[in-house]
Amino acid sequence: MTTIRNIVLVHGGFVDGSGWQGVYDELTRDGFRVHVVQNPTLSLEDDVAVTRRALDALDGPAVLVGHSYGGVVISESGTHPNVAALAYIAAFAPDKGESVSSIIADPPPGAPVPPILPPVEGFLFLDRDKFHGAFAADLPDRAAAFMADSQVPWGVDALGGTVTEPAWRHKPAWYLVATEDRMIPPPAQRAMAERAGATVVEVIGSHAVYVSQPAAVAQLIRQAAA
């Protein structure tokens, strides 16, 4: 079997690829070649195209990793021939015809509701004052404040982008459940992971688990690459 040495990291909505730095440091220390995709998060189609360009440039197989909305991007782009495995980090893992919008349309009773503000000119933001508690509760105040103040506008078209053929139907998948997530309810994470047939690891962490616990996230990615 070919050894997987490439890792491609895909961020979610409201943030950019810089949040992966801790995971990047962990994996590059082990000798992995890590690529961080900077998706514009304007539409799913655009983000899939950007991710596929990163995959085109690889010299061998890769683990394709997605956080949050990035899980939709890797589900659609992960059919690329250079993708050997998928890793979902507190992420959406949609089936054919599903989108973030359809998955979150009917939250279970009592589930936390993400503090997404009404769209302005086709773009979404999280309420700055509620960002810490909802997205990054296990990060220090200053780190969460910086994330809240540096939000990337999330396009409504990205939220509504549907998957045509989910890669997890064809590639092995791993899933890290963040047990204290207040953006994607943990029961929903577990259900999507089970449906995808993923190998599941649970970590006590917020939606920003990839920032707060990079070692645990990197360990799951190492398992996917093994």
Determine the pLDDT at residue 106: 81
Q: Given this model, what pLDDT does residue 212 score?
A: 98
- Average pLDDT for the chain: 96
The proportion of the chain whose per-residue pLDDT surpasses 70, expressed as a percent, equals 99
Sheet bearing 173-178, strands edge to edge: 33-37, 6-10, 62-67, 83-89, 173-178, 199-203
Condensed to tens digits (0 to 9), the pLDDT of residues 34-57 reads 999 999 999 999 999 999 999 999
Complete DSSP assignment for 146-177: HHHHTPBPEEHHHHTPPPSS-GGGTS-EEEEE
CA angle 83, 89, 94 (to 5 degrees): 70
Where does the pLDDT of residue 2 fall: very low under 50, low under 70, confident under 90, or very high at 90 and above? low
Among 54, 56, 100, smallest CA distance to 75 is for: 100
Q: CA separation (Å) from 185 to 91, 101, 138?
A: 10, 15, 16
Whole-prediction pTM: 0.97
Specify the range with the lowest mean pLDDT, choosing from 72-86, 91-105, 107-121.
Answer: 107-121
How much is the pLDDT for 42?
Answer: 95
Is there a contact between 164 and 188 (Cβ–Cβ < 8 Å)? no
pLDDT tens figures, 192-221: 999 999 999 999 999 999 999 999 999 999
Q: How confident is the model at residue 1 (pLDDT cuts 50, 70, 90)?
A: low
As a whole number, mean pLDDT of residues 2-13 equals: 93
Mean pLDDT of 178-201: 97
What end-to-end distance do the CA atoms of the chain give, in Å? 10
Cα 166 to Cα 210: distance, rounded to the nearest angstrom: 23
Reply yes or no on whether the pLDDT at 129 is more than 90.
Answer: yes
